[in-house]
């Protein structure tokens, strides 16, 4: 296990060095064509409102966006029965994230972010579950041209995090997920994404990342990328209708029956529809409803699990940018 982890971190370090050093190489060897490509890449900025929990949250564009963004949501899932035992489990998820975009050395686009998540669990089953789960996540990501390939970019994101209960920061709960992927934009309508997410110390160590974004016109967008694919249609400059999907697949370190640092896995899938309203260029709000399925809370070392019946969810989200 140690050797696998060491190889993963070496891989991450190599990619980080490439991501940071490559813009400097471009400047040192710049020509008119390569300078144009670098300028295009560093102007990537106008992005989709950032979804929390996603592997890919933004779409490169040509226009610059507002540098600071805050996103918050509350998602309510009423109590549902569980398989093979009496009792019910209800869940309320909430999260807050803020992100700031900047350019280092006038060339390298960076995004810094901080996120906090809170999951309230109302449990009446025979399996002991914590009353809430919490997480604190920092983020650093950058996008650069991928060598000399036209309309191709490389993005790397590092997300040091703590997931547990009671907002505790335990050293054993520290994780460093890393996402690396290529972005190819042949034209203004298509964006293709392919890469990999590395999750040291998780049950699943590596997850493939692939998908596409298709904008046939100014109103319709197919955003088919993990972990929150959606299709949206803009009725006008203020109202947008959408259908969405999503998933949760996180691990938390908690205490159970006198045992410390027990890993509890929370997994769920959802699909629904909703509408968003843009009040002005700074504030947008949305509501959505749908179904949740294939949900479970499971202790890693056979210490118990609950499989929740399918149910409904409702969500309210607000996004602000300045």
Tens digit of pLDDT per residue, the chain (322 long)? 434 344 444 444 444 444 444 444 333 333 333 333 333 333 323 232 333 233 333 444 444 567 999 999 999 999 999 998 999 999 999 999 999 999 888 778 899 999 999 999 999 999 999 999 999 999 999 999 999 999 999 999 999 999 999 898 889 999 999 999 999 999 999 999 999 999 998 988 999 999 999 999 999 999 999 878 999 999 998 999 999 999 998 999 999 988 899 999 999 999 999 999 999 999 999 999 999 999 999 998 878 999 999 999 999 999 999 8
Q: CATH number for the domain including 149?
A: 2.40.160
Predicted confidence at residue 116, as pLDDT, reads: 97
Predicted confidence at residue 258, as pLDDT, reads: 85
Predicted confidence at residue 158, as pLDDT, reads: 96
Of 81, 85, 139, the residue nearest 309 (C-alpha): 81
- In a 13 Å sphere around the CA of 24, the CA atoms on its Cβ side amount to 7
Which tokens hold the place of 170? 């335990």
CB atoms within 10 A of CB 290: 18
Give me the domain span that covers residue 152. Answer: 2-321
Of 206, 211, 278, 269, the residue nearest 242 (C-alpha): 278
Domains in the chain, number? 1
Predicted confidence at residue 65, as pLDDT, reads: 64
Of 190, 151, 205, 181, the residue nearest 37 (C-alpha): 151
Predicted confidence at residue 66, as pLDDT, reads: 77
The H-or-E segment that residue 155 falls in is strand 152-158
The H-or-E segment that residue 3 falls in is helix 2-28
Whole-prediction pTM: 0.79
């Amino acid at each position: 296990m140690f050797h696998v982890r060491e190889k993963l971190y070496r891989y991450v370090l190599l990619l980080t060095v490439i991501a940071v050093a490559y813009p400097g190489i471009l400047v040192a060897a710049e020509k008119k064509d390569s300078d144009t490509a670098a300028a295009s890449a560093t102007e990537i900025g106008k992005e989709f409102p950032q979804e929390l929990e996603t592997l890919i949250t933004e779409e490169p564009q040509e226009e610059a966006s507002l540098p600071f963004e805050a996103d918050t949501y509350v998602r309510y899932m009423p109590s549902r029965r569980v398989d093979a035992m009496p009792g019910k489990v209800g869940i309320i998820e909430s999260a807050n994230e803020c992100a700031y975009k900047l350019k280092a050395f006038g060339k390298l686009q960076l995004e810094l972010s901080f996120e906090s998540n809170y999951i309230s669990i109302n449990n009446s089953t025979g399996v002991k579950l914590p009353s809430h789960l919490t997480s604190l996540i920092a983020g650093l990501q950058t996008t650069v041209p991928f060598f000399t390939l036209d309309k191709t970019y490389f993005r790397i994101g590092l997300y040091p995090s703590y997931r547990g209960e009671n907002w505790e920061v335990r050293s054993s709960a520290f994780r460093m997920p890393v996402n690396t992927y290529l972005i190819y934009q042949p034209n203004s309508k298509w964006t293709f994404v392919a890469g990999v997410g590395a999750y040291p110390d998780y049950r699943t160590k590596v997850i493939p990342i692939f998908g596409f974004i298709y904008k046939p016109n100014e109103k319709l967008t197919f955003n088919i990328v993990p972990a929150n694919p959606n299709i949206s249609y803009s009725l006008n400059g203020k109202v947008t209708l959408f259908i969405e999907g999503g998933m949760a697949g996180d691990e938390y370190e908690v205490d159970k029956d006198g045992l410390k640092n027990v890993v509890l896995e929370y997994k769920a899938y959802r699909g629904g529809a909703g509408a968003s309203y843009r009040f002005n260029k700074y504030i947008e709000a949305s509501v959505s409803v749908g179904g949740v399925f294939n949900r479970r809370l499971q202790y890693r070392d056979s210490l118990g699990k609950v499989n929740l019946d399918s149910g409904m969810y409702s969500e309210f989200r607000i996004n602000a940018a300045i």
